[in-house]
Structure 1
Amino acid sequence: MNSHTKEPLKLSVLDLATIYNEESATETLRQSTELVQLADKLGYTRYWFAEHHNTKHQVSTSPDLLSAHAAAVTDHIRIGSGGMMLPNHSPLKIVENFSILEALHPGRIDLGMGRAPGTDGLTALALRRSREAVEGNDSMELLQELLAYFTRNFPEDHPFANITPSPDPSLIPQLFMLGSSDGGMRIASQFGLSYAFAAQINPDWAVPVLRSYREQFQPSQFQETPYSILSIIVVCADTDEEAQYLAGPAELQWARWGTGQFKLPPPTLEEAAKHTYTPAEEKARQENSGRFIIGSTGKVKKALTELAAEAQADEVMVLNMITDQKARHHSYTLLADAFALRENT
């Protein structure tokens, strides 16, 4: 349980729609479909899709489209974006799309928003069509515009004041700012939004930033009280040894990223088990240890419970990066049973 609340810890799922084992994009999305349906049955709170561009090994370019599909094939779990990257999109179009999703699936849609482009500079230019836009930093302006569309609260003299993004002004999903530093946290607390921190990206900052969010939160029409999520890579198995084996590909991939090896495909279980780390890779691997929680059910439950309590997080969002679908499902099932998710929904 959290230190600031008596509510049981909630668990959710983050999906990057990563292509493993040289599968096709169609197969990867089929597996995402099967995973979100499993998460729905197991009692997970929400399921988010990330936004990444210009990558050969991830299919998660369009969280809004993936959310529409996932919501249509599930019954209870909340669905959304982790997140829509504000610099890449017209605020009006984001509001239109998520208003439609909220109308189709009332009370089940989340709009998580990020301030980074989620890609390289050239791809950002291709998305935004303007070097001035790419080189500028207007994420705060984009967010304020987006919120004004949802609330119909533009200043009277604003050029967009009379634009109607949806016939129904009540169609507002739960709004989250995402972050891996304190920038997104400051915005979330200032505007009274929910907040999700990516501990898999910046583990050392997770606890202080999430605690600061709770301390600095200002109530709004979107959120009366603070609500926070901590996301992290979790690999759970029947034994510590099995979990360590299953985590091998993710550990190797992060070590490669840490040593500038970005073009290689995600390693297989066999490749990771046989790999001999170079000194630079081993150093990166050790430095990456905070991104992961790896182990048997009891070990993982204890670590997640303690981390969430320390960070005063309401919820933990799990990214597991397990390359084998059966083991991936088993990991999420073990976690759901350990935290009695079905009993708490």
Structure 2
Amino acid sequence: MLKLGVLDQSPVIPGETAADAMARTLELAKTVERLGYTRYWVSEHHDTPGLAGSSPEILIAAIAAHTSRIRVGSAGVLLPHYSPYKVAENFRVLEALYPGRIDLGIGRAPGGMPIASEALRYGRPKEREEHFAEMLRDLGGFLSDWLGPGHRFEGVRATPLVDTAPELWLLGSSGFSADRASELGGAFSFAHFINGDGGHEAVRRYFANYRPGPLGASPQANVCVIVICADTDEEAERLASSTDLRLLLLEQGQFRRPFPTPEEAAGYPYTDWDRMRIQANRRRMIVGGPEKVRAQMLEFSKGYGVEELIVLTYTYDFQARLRSYELLADLFGLGR
């Protein structure tokens, strides 16, 4: 049976505050654990008022404290901004508090505009791509208490010292992260919700080239996709209309604009180009009533060759988000 997890970006809906968004995240996490979902991942965005999740490590601690079984993780910590040693210690603390439940997902995107990235690095130069693999190796070494003889950090240990370690996932929307994951032994999650093209080849190459390494010992992959499920196809399309507009506005650099309502989407003056972009963005989404969504998700997972999907439900209305996750849990028999 298909396994399902959740990606939550803690969206701030007009009329609510960022604190409300955090409360919604905790409520959703408790709900999907009860429904039988396997993972709950939270994102990292900076200087983005519409998304409240800027510190996944802290949010993971809160979510894990309010749940008891579901795995909780980052999607992801943006490693080029940070010290691998500090990231290792943060996640060792989480693993000590919630052993066997923590996922450390790593990304390399900026997570915000260039000036926010500059503020995060605080004077440090931007890491080049070749340095990313080195940072990953060091991160794996700190978490496994092994950095080879002659390594500049040989003997340095990430504390607290605990018997278990978080699962290490590389997140990506291209083949780059898939290749690094296969080279270094990490698990891989393809961000289909960001890029609807090229994922099948990236996942295929990951499995074909995988070898154990500092990030793990066996291959594991999933795919994250936007899913909007409602009681009818018509209601799902109505909800998705605001998501269509949201994605379009983000493409245009309107990061600070509030999440649009379906009514705003219905009255928006779309150009022919806008409509073409919306059609293209639908490749990143699965939208419909229960039977339509179930068939498409099964076909989607089979096409990718994975047994787990991470679901991002992007809707203006929180109750509609909850309903979508409830319908999916029923469709796939989660928790039975």
If the TM-score is normalised by the length of the shorter chain, which range does it land in?
Answer: over 0.9
The aligned counterpart of 2:68 is: 75
Contact 2:169–2:189, Cα closer than 8 Å, also in 1: yes
**How far has the Cα of 1:80 moved from its partner?**
0.5
> Offset of 1:97 from its aligned partner?
1.0
1:159 to partner: Cα distance:
2.9
Structure 2, gaps ≥5 residues long? none
Q: Distance in 1 between matches of 2:302 and 2:239?
A: 27
**1:82 is aligned with what amino acid?**
A
Post-superposition offset of 1:9? 1.0
Structure 1, residues 19-38: CA drift from partner, whole Å, max 9, x if none?
A: 11231011111111100000
- In structure 2, what is the equivalent of residue 179 of structure 1? 172
Partners of 2:40 and 2:142 lie apart in 1 by 25
Provide, for residues 217-269 of structure 1, a one-character-per-residue CA deviation record: whole Å limited to 9, x for no partner: 11347544321110010000010000001111111111223344443221123
Q: What's the TM-score, normalizing by structure 2?
A: 0.96
Deviation at 1:93, TM superposition (A): 1.1
Q: Which amino acid aligns with 1:63?
A: P
- Is 1:31 matched with 2:19? no
- 1:206 matched to 2:199: yes
Alignment of 1:299-318 (within 5 A): 299-318=292-311
Shift of 1:280: 2.3
**Which deviates the most, 158-167 or 110-119?**
158-167
Q: CA separation of 1:134/1:54 partners in 2, compared to 1, >3 Å: closer, same or farther?
A: farther
Label 1:300 to 1:273 Cα distance change in 2 as closer, same or farther (>3 A).
same
Shift of 1:321: 0.8
TM-score by length of 1: 0.93
Aligned partners of 1:50 and 1:82 also within 8 Å: yes
Q: 1:131 to 1:160 in 2, by over 3 A?
A: closer
Select 1:14's aligned residue among 7, 27, 32.
Answer: 7
The more displaced of 39-48 and 108-117 is 108-117
Aligned partners of 2:136, 2:53: CA distance in 1, in Å? 22
Counterparts of 1:98-137 in structure 2, within 5 Å, are: 98-133=91-126
In structure 2, what is the Cα distance between the partners aligned to 1:192 and 1:202?
Answer: 23
1:89/1:132 CA distance change after superposition, 3 Å: closer
| More deviation, 16-25/60-69 | 16-25
2:143 to 125, 150, 159: 150
Alpha-carbon separation, structure 2, partners of 1:132 and 1:17: 30
Partner AA of 1:59 in structure 2: A
Aligned-partner Cα distance in 2 for 1:28–1:258? 23
Alpha-carbon offset, residue 155 of structure 1? 2.4
In the TM superposition, residue 153 of structure 1 has moved relative to its aligned partner by 1.6
Counterpart check, 1:277 vs 2:270: yes
Distance 1:60 1:243, change over 3 A: same
- Cα offset for 1:95? 0.8
- Percent identity, aligned pairs only, is 39
Superposed CA deviations along residues 178-222 of structure 1, whole A, max 9, x for unmatched, are 110000000111111110000011111121211211111113475
Alignment of 1:202-241 (within 5 A): 202-220=195-213, 223-241=216-234
Please say if 1:263 is aligned against 2:256. yes
Q: 1:129 to 1:221 in 2, by over 3 A?
A: closer
Q: Which residue of structure 1 aligns with residue 159 of structure 2?
A: 166
Mapped contact 1:181–1:205 kept (Cα < 8 A): yes
- Once residues 245 and 35 of structure 2 are traced to their aligned partners in structure 1, the CA distance between those partners, rounded to angstroms, is 29
The one-letter code of the counterpart of 1:69 is: A
Once residues 167 and 318 of structure 1 are traced to their aligned partners in structure 2, the CA distance between those partners, rounded to angstroms, is 32
1:162-187 residue CA offsets vs partner (Å, 9 max, x unmatched) = 22212425331011001100000001
Out of 66, 86, 104, the residue aligned to residue 79 of structure 2 is: 86
Classify the secondary structure of the residue corresponding to 1:58.
coil
Whole-Å separation in 2 of the counterparts to 1:107 and 1:222: 16
Runs of 4+ in 1 over 6 A off after TM superposition: none
Structure 1 stretch displaced more, 19-28 or 39-48: 19-28
Deviation at 1:315, TM superposition (A): 0.8
More displaced, 135-144 or 250-259?
Answer: 135-144
Q: Does 1:250 align with 2:240?
A: no
Distance 1:245 1:339 in 2: 24
Give 1:286 shift.
Answer: 1.2
Structure 1 position 292 matched with structure 2 position 282: no
- Structure 1 segments unaligned to the other structure (5+ residues): 1-7
8 Å CA contact 2:92, 2:160 repeated in 1: no
